[in-house]
Each structure stands twice: as structure tokens, then as C-alpha cells.
């Protein structure tokens, strides 16, 4: 699992949902679909209709990958910070039972409110 205390997935930008499709296809369940995807240099985060999948590409060649699955049902609290005039990045912090706080940073043009709606819709509908 990604050590979220010592590594933050930073400055991700929105990418097409097919960016990680082949990479995560083996771990998706039958009726699971990708809602949105974000990518930093090599790492990424995929929001599906069941969970958040954090992808950590490791090593020089990038063949080794770590996938951390965070079910929406385990999220206790989440917080967002939108970009401003001087601080162009947006942030999402979520608190997961038994894990603690996880922080994701997005480029200023990312729609963090869209992410909040996705998380809220799945937290409150279950």
C-alpha cells in the first residue's frame, strides 16, 4: 500500500478515463466504471463508482506498480481547498478509518467540486 504519510500524490491534472483503463482493468469488478482520472508525472488516481484507486508507478522502468483501493464506504470525512489567486493548486484530504488522512493535490484547472460531488454521492447513497 502507498505510504500516504511519507508520500503525497501531488499536482495531478485531469486526463481521459482511458489513461489508466488497461492498467486497472484487471482489478475492476464487473459493473465498476471509471468516473474521472488524474495523473501526475507517472502516478495517478482513478475515481470509480465504488472506490478511489491510487496508482504508484515504481522503479526506473515503471513496470512495478502499487494499487491502493479506497472504498467510498470507508471515508469518514473529506475536505477540499480550491485554487486561489496566488496558490494555483487545489487539494483534497480524506480521512479513512484505520488509515488516517490521505492528501491529493491537483493543478489549478482541476474541478475539485466535481470530485466532491462524486465522493458525496457515493458516501450518502450507501
Q: What is the pLDDT of residues 34-87, one digit of tens each?
A: 999 999 888 899 999 999 999 988 877 778 888 999 999 889 888 888 766 555
Q: Where are the domains of the chain?
A: 9-125
Mean pLDDT value of segment 6-29: 83
What is the value of pTM for the model shown? 0.84
- CATH homologous superfamily for 9-125? Bacterial Pleckstrin homology domain (2.30.29.50)
Q: Does 125 score more than 90 pLDDT?
A: no
Q: What is the DSSP string of 40-107?
A: -SS-EEEEESSEEEEEEEETTTS-EEEEEEEEGGGEEEEEEE---SS---EEEEEEETTTEEEEEEE-
Of 34, 31, 29, 32, residue with least CA distance to 15:
34
Amino acid at each position: 500500500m502507498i505510504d500516504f504519510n511519507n508520500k503525497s500524490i501531488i499536482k495531478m491534472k485531469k486526463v481521459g478515463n482511458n489513461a489508466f483503463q488497461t492498467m486497472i482493468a484487471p482489478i475492476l469488478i464487473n459493473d465498476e466504471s471509471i468516473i474521472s482520472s488524474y495523473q501526475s508525472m507517472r502516478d495517478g488516481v482513478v475515481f470509480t463508482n465504488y472506490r478511489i484507486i491510487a496508482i504508484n508507478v515504481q522503479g526506473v522502468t515503471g513496470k512495478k506498480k502499487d494499487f491502493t483501493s479506497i472504498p467510498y464506504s470507508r471515508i469518514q470525512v473529506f475536505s477540499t481547498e480550491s485554487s486561489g489567486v496566488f496558490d494555483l493548486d487545489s487539494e483534497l484530504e480524506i480521512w479513512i478509518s484505520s488509515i488516517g488522512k490521505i492528501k491529493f493535490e491537483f493543478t489549478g484547472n482541476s474541478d475539485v467540486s466535481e470530485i466532491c460531488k462524486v465522493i458525496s454521492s457515493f458516501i450518502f447513497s450507501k
